[in-house]
């Protein structure tokens, strides 16, 4: 089964970059996404926090250019 996710939001913390034993980068952070909607005439906002992990060169690039609060679009797959 294949799944695809596209998220747009802001980083909630700086990226934590580590390297595996074989030397490949693993970068972890989280993103906050929100949506605004109306229920019975009342405006509401819902925020979702999602942990994300970058692997390899994309993790190194993310660590170099992104900081807490950075606006980001992430495309990837979910892990259950």
pLDDT, position 80: 67
**pLDDT digit string (tens) for the chain, length 80 residues:** 678 999 999 999 999 999 999 999 999 999 999 999 999 999 999 999 999 999 999 999 999 999 999 999 999 888 76
- Contact call for residues 31 and 52 (beta carbons, < 8 A): yes
- Contact call for residues 30 and 52 (beta carbons, < 8 A): yes
What is the CATH topology of the domain spanning 5-76?
A: OB fold (Dihydrolipoamide Acetyltransferase, E2P) (2.40.50)
Q: What is the pTM of this model?
A: 0.81
Locate the domains of the chain by residue range.
Answer: 5-76
Instruction: List the alpha helices (DSSP H) in the chain.
Output: 57-65
Joined together, the tokens standing for residue 48 give 């979702």
What's 32's DSSP letter? E
């Amino acid at each position: 089964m294949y799944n695809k996710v596209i998220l747009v939001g802001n980083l909630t913390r700086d990226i934590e970059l580590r390297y595996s034993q074989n030397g490949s980068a693993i970068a972890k952070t989280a993103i906050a996404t929100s949506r605004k909607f109306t229920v019975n005439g009342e405006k509401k906002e819902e925020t979702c926090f999602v942990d994300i992990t970058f692997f390899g060169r994309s993790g190194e690039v993310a660590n170099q250019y992104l900081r807490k609060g950075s606006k980001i679009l992430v495309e990837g797959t979910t892990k259950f």
